[in-house]
Structures are given as structure tokens and as C-alpha cells.
Structure 1
Amino acid sequence: MTATKDPPQGAHAPDLEVRHRHISIDGVRIFYREAGPADAPVVLLPHGYPSSSFQFRNFMPALADRWRLLAPDYPGFGYSDTPAGFAYNFDGYADLLDRFAKALGIERYALYLHDYGSQIGLRLAIKAPERVAALIIQNGDIYEDELGPKYGTLKAYWANPTPEAREKLYEAVSEEGFRDEFVGEIDERLVERVPPDLWKLSWPLVTEERREIMVGLMEGLKENLGWFPRYQAYLREHHPPALIVWGPQDGFMPEGAARAYLRDLPDAELHLLDGGHWALETNLAEIVALARDFLGRVYA
């Protein structure tokens, strides 16, 4: 029988548990995950397509001893409401993220920018640059000349938006389409690290209304290209401390899309990982170690 010792009097183990909560913002019920002390520096985690705050489920407790991490589900995704009349576009989601932070009393934060979350987070940063302490950038594209080959289907639709071309976008919003997003491009040896829960659990939450919202966001990416110069100008003007962690096995955002950030953030740290778009699934330990070091210096 092994004896155990009680912790020293007054000592407390850090609370690393993730809380699963809801908040009402202008009558819209928003689900979010939270971890870490209420008075700790904040890391705000806007999610990407086709996931939800679920994508940060492992990252959050790994940093919860020193930081407060907040990850909401957007309206129309995950466990949040899908209200009629909401602006289901990048402006609407950026505004929602802003109101979410204000509702929780968050005045300053680091932003984790990934996939659609990079478009939403950077619009928030442009709106309130004084609130941004730092950026962690992980497979979030803002350089049109470095878009990968998987943009081909979208570009074809933008050039000729026929009903037949739109049907291809619609077909991609499916369980098989979700699976391809998560494991369709990475090396076979990495596939077993990616849990099927990512598509098996998220697909049943996709109603016909939500499916149309997702297709609409794909259509909206064309207009979003016009924001790329604005994102770049924000980086040049404000020089936020930045950590770039990137999985180059990514048909939408290959290695060049990561290196392009150095044009506007020449002092940023760039780390190329042995992974793809969903590197938090395949390279979690590496990203956690890099983020802990980086945030520790930002919030020193």
C-alpha cells in the first residue's frame, strides 16, 4: 500500500478543469467553454470551420494554470442558438465576439487565430487594437497570393456562381466533407491521432438551416478577400507580439501562407510543425509548449 501525503497547508493544486457554460447576448444563448482563474490574463479562442469550441477542448486545460481561456460557439455552430435575423457573416461573428468579451468583463486578451477564427479575430483586433495583447496564429490565411490549391473549387464558384457550382459547396457540408476537412490532407501516420468525434459528433448538430449558413460563409469568403489588405495594415501599424505555429500539410493554407506573415510581422516567431490544418489534434504538445513560453513572455 502506497502512502500519500497531503499538500502543504495553504497550498492548492491549480484548477485545470474546463467549464461548460451559457451566456445570453442580446437574447441569443451562446455556449462557451472556460478554463483558468477568473483574474488571470485572457486568451480568447474563436473557432474555425466546421468545428466549434470543441476544437480547443485539450488546449484549454493545458494552459489553465496561468491563463483564463474562453472559447465560444458562434450562433449556428456547436451548442449555441441559431437565431433568425442574426448576421451570419464575418462581420456579424466579429461583433458577437466583441459583445461576448464585454459581457464577461474582458478588457484585454491574446487572440488565437485559426481558420475562420482568423478572419473574425482580426476584424475584432482592427475594431479595438488597444485590447489585443498578442496573437497566436495557426493556419489562418490573410495573403491572397499564397492561397492553396484547395481554393480552386471556391474560386470556380466565385467566377461563375451557377446553381450547379453552388451544389458542390452544399455537398461539401456533409459528414464526409467534414471528415475530409480534418484528415483528408495529412499523412496517414497522423490520421489515427485525430478523433472521429470531430465529424461524428458535430454533423448531427447541422440542421438544414445551419447547412445553408455554412454554404453562405463559403460564398462570403470572396468578399472577405477585400479585407486581407486591411488585416495586413493592422499588423504593420500595431506590431502585436505574434507566435506563428503552422501545419503545412494544408491544401488551403500551405507553408507559404505562414511565411507570408513575416512580410508584415518580421519579428514574429514562426514554427512549422509536422502536421496540417488541425494541428491542435496532431501536434498539441508542441503548440502548448510554444504557447506557454510565448504567453509567459508577453504577460511577464
Structure 2
Amino acid sequence: MESKGSFKKINDVEIYYEHHGCPLKEQRPVLVMVHGYLSSAFSFRTLIPYLSDSFTIFALDLPGFGQSEKSVKFFYSLDNYARLVIGFLDAMALKKAVLVGHSMGGQISLYAANQAPDRIVQVVGLSASGYLGRLRLWLRWASYLPFMSYYLQYFFRKKDIMQTFLEVVHNRDLVTNEMVEGYLAPLKNIDFYRSLVRLMRHREGDLTPLVLHTIRQPVLLLWGIEDRVVPVSVARRFKRDLPEVTLRTFENTGHLLPEEKPEEVATEIKSFINQDVSG
């Protein structure tokens, strides 16, 4: 897949993004892809080719992740990440968009849908995180300790990264050295861990059921039955709390849906968007 990467200043932060698929002038539906925790736009590289013939696609690296700025001034909350996504729409002169969010990116997409109901017309949540509170108080206090970023870097270096990947995917044959290196490359910079410390400190709890009930846009939830990171029970709670929601699950699939079932996920996304447009 040919990468069309660029940088743009959004809300005083330098953001890396990729533009794929149809040119804006063709007036196809616009998808904005929002990655999850410890990830980047790289996580959508397998999914995008199955969608690029039908949509204009932008995939973002959130502040602190991938190739975007590791700002010490950005406030790393879900609410502020959502404001940045909306700021990206403004910067690209996009009046409306469909947000496709994986894991934490799914929760950010719901935040954005709540903030800008006239701009975010649909949300696709791929194993979207939800129903989490803030980190424990002692961990937030720990984020203020000197050298905490170096401790986190040491902690991640000590982890068996390959084993971690084997735990988040169901089909272990999908895990290759190239895939692991693509996810790990941005994590080698100490500035990433400085951002991670701020995310620990700033991240609020997820949207409450009361707020979720007010989100009126159509939401498509796609989930792996074998997801051990964000279990399918979270999807069922979303199904109760979101007014207009469709849930599709995939057998023999773990947490990395864009990697594990890209063609099937793309088919569901196309059907969801086309059905809403035609309806």
C-alpha cells in the first residue's frame, strides 16, 4: 500500500496523517481512522486497501504516538484527543466524516461524535474500549515522579513483546517480525514515554451510560469473540447504552481486528455506510 504521509499543525500540535483512497473532489464518504493505545496509523495498513476504492481515507497518528509530535504541552485526555480529531476535520475543510476507531480510538471517536453530532455522521468501533475509570490515584501520583518516563521505557524493554502480540491476536500465524517491528518502531523514542506518562496523568474515565444514551448517530461495532484485551462483554454493554447501534462479531478473532479480519471488516463497513446513505 502506497503511503501518502504528511504533517499538519492541529491545535498547536504537529500531527502525522496519511491520505489514501479517492480524492476529495470525487465527493465520496470520508473515513477518518483513529488508532488505539500504543499504536499508530500503521495498524490500519492492511484494512485500508479493501476500502480505498470506495472512500476518501485519512489515518491519523494521535499526539504522543507514531510519527506525531510528542508534545509536553498537549493535554492527553480522551476529550482533548476528540477535539483534535474535530480540529483535523476543520484543517482539512471536511464538513462531515465517518470515524473508524480501534480500541482506545473507538472511545475517542465516540467522544468526538458526542462533541460534534453535526460533523460526525457515523462511528465504526473496532473492539472499542469502554467503561473504564481513571487510573488509580497512586499511578497518577507516580506519573509526577522524576525519571518515570525512563522507568516505563525500561519496563517495556523487559517485556516479551512477541508474547504480548501472541496474546492479542487469535491466529498466531499473523504475527511476523515485520509486523512487530512496525508497532515497536515508535516506542523506541524516550519522548514517547514522556507522552505516555502524561496520558497516565490526564486520561479521564470513559463515557458514561448517561452520555452514551445521548449519541444519536448510527454506530457499528465490530468485535472478535476471542478478544482478551477488550472482551465482547463490553460490546454488549455498548449495545444496551447506544441508541442506534449494530453489533457484528467474528469467530476465531482477537483484539487486532484490522490485522486479523481486514476484508471482512471492510465489507461490514461498506454495507453499514451504504445502507445509511441509501436509507
Fold conserved (TM > 0.5)? yes
CA distance 1:92–1:195, shift in 2 (3 Å): farther
* Residues 1:36 and 2:21 aligned together: yes
Cα 1:93–1:180 shift into 2, 3 Å: farther
The match for 1:23 is 8
2-structure distance, mates of 1:172, 1:249 = 27
The answer (yes or no) to whether the contact 1:175–1:200 under 8 Å persists in 2 is no
Moved more, 204-213 or 255-264: 204-213
- Cα distance change of structure 1 residues 106 and 215 upon mapping to structure 2, 3 Å threshold: same
In the alignment, structure 1 residue 78 sits paired with structure 2 residue 66: yes
- Give the Cα separation in 1 of the matches to 2:244 and 2:215: 12
Change (3 A) 1:20 1:237: same
Superposed CA deviations along residues 135-167 of structure 1, whole A, max 9, x for unmatched, are 1111112235xx9xxxxxx97xx1644859x89
Q: Corresponding residue for 1:247? A: 224
Task: Kindly indicate whether the alpha-carbon contact (under 8 Å) linking 2:216 and 2:243 is maintained by their aligned counterparts in 1.
Answer: no
Amino acid at match of 2:236: R
Between 1:174-183 and 1:87-96, the stretch displaced more is 174-183
Q: Which letter does structure 1 place at the counterpart of 2:230?
A: M
CA distance in 2, matches of 1:177, 1:45: 28
- Cα distance change on mapping 1:86 and 1:198 into 2, 3 Å: farther
Q: Does 1:208 align with 2:187?
A: no
Structure 1 alignment gaps of length 5 or more: 1-15, 148-153
| Residues 237 and 28 (structure 1), Cα distance of their counterparts in 2 relative to 1, 3 Å cut | closer
> What secondary structure does 2:17 align onto?
strand
Residues 193, 282 of structure 1: 8 Å contact kept? yes
AA matched with 1:191 = R
Change (3 A) 1:266 1:103: closer
Q: Within 5 A, what are the aligned runs for 1:180-219?
A: 180-187=163-170, 190-206=171-187, 207-219=189-201
Indicate the larger mover: 134-143 or 207-216: 207-216
More RCO (CA 8 Å, sep 6+): 2
SS in structure 2 at match of 1:45? strand
How many residues are treated as equivalent by the alignment? 268
Q: Are residues 1:271 and 2:254 paired?
A: no
CA distance in 2, matches of 1:55, 1:94: 19
Instruction: Report the counterpart of residue 65 of structure 1 in structure 2.
Output: 53
Pairwise CA distance, 1:185: 4.0
User: Partner letter of residue 190 of structure 2?
Assistant: E
Q: Which amino acid counterpart does residue 222 of structure 2 have in structure 1?
A: V
Listed as ranges, the matches of 1:155-170 within 5 Å are 158=136, 160-161=138-139
Q: Distance in 2 between matches of 1:219 and 1:178?
A: 24
**Offset, 1:94:** 2.0
**Which of 173-182 and 88-97 deviates more?**
173-182
Instruction: Name 1:107's counterpart in structure 2.
Output: 95
- Secondary structure, aligned partner of 1:40: coil
What is the DSSP-based 3-state SS (H/G/I as helix, E as strand, rest coil) of the residue aligned with 1:251? coil
Does the CA contact (< 8 Å) of 1:139 and 1:277 recur in 2?
yes
Task: Determine the structure 2 residue equivalent to 1:133.
Answer: 121
- State the shift of 1:186 in Å: 3.6
TM-score, structure 2 as length reference: 0.83
Q: Which residue of 2 aligns with 1:282?
A: 260
SS of the counterpart of 1:43?
A: strand
User: Which has the higher mean CA deviation after the structures are superposed, 178-187 or 235-244?
Assistant: 178-187
Deviation at 1:45, TM superposition (A): 0.8
Partners of 2:271 and 2:224 lie apart in 1 by 19
Q: Distance in 1 between matches of 2:191 and 2:202?
A: 16
Aligned partner of residue 299 in structure 1, secondary structure = helix
8 Å Cα contact 1:194-1:282 kept in structure 2: no
Q: Hey, what does 2:207 align to over in structure 1?
A: 228
Provide the alpha-carbon RMSD of the alignment: 3.0
Distance 1:17 1:286 in 2: 21
Per the TM alignment, residue 245 of structure 1 is displaced from its structure 2 partner at its CA by 0.8
Alignment identity in percent?
Answer: 26
Give the structure-1-normalised TM-score. 0.77
Structure 2 CA distance for aligned equivalents of residues 111 and 252 of structure 1? 21
Where does the alignment leave 5 or more consecutive residues of structure 2 unmatched? none
Distance 2:118 2:103 in 1: 23
